[in-house]
Amino acid sequence: MALPDDVLADFEQQAMYDRSAWFVDEVLEIVPETHTVRALMHTTHLPFVDAQRDLPGHPRHVPAAIAIQATGTLGLLYATYVLGLRATDGWSGFGTKIEGARWGSLARIGPPVEMRCTCVKTRELRGTRFCWFGFEFVQEDAWVYRSRQSAAWRRVAPA
């Protein structure tokens, strides 16, 4: 299911990047009770791929930079729609650490990648909200990326 038009329009106001840099094409679910966001990335229209050379042993694939950028979008979806940390209310967030990033299979061009973001812990300290996330990306039943990442949101002047 794609984001409904009204939610999509709202998220465009909250996102730190325009839609061309989200790399989240469909939001499958946002489940506050399980602290989870699930989404799809379509792999047929990604930047950098046209610049990849198809060499023996190095096929065209989803670049790591795109996967990392997608984790930021997933974290922002969680922060916005589960925690209520909205940019239009003055909240600004940044990734702070990537831990244990592991690449399984190459994410091939063609099949979509299903992405899962799970918030495993939150903490507030002196007005800053910290979140720790687990990410897992899967393509055709094979995991392609797993990591633990953290991010912090601070309230500044309303946008």
Residue-wise pLDDT for 90-127, tens only, equals 999 999 999 989 999 999 999 999 999 999 999 999 99
Structural element, H or E, at residue 83: none
CA 36 and chain centroid, separation: 12
Convert the pLDDT of each residue in 40-56 to its tens digit: 999 998 888 888 888 89
**Cα separation, 3 vs 30, whole angstroms:** 10
In a domain, residue 95? The reply is yes
> What CATH code is carried by the domain that includes residue 63?
3.10.129.10
Structural element, H or E, at residue 9: helix 5-14
Please state the domain count of the chain. 1
In a domain, residue 30? The reply is yes
1/149: higher pLDDT: 149
Q: What is the DSSP string of 24-50?
A: --EEEEEEGGGTEEEEEE-SSS-TTGG
In a domain, residue 159? The reply is no
- Cβ distance 152 to 130 under 8 Å? yes
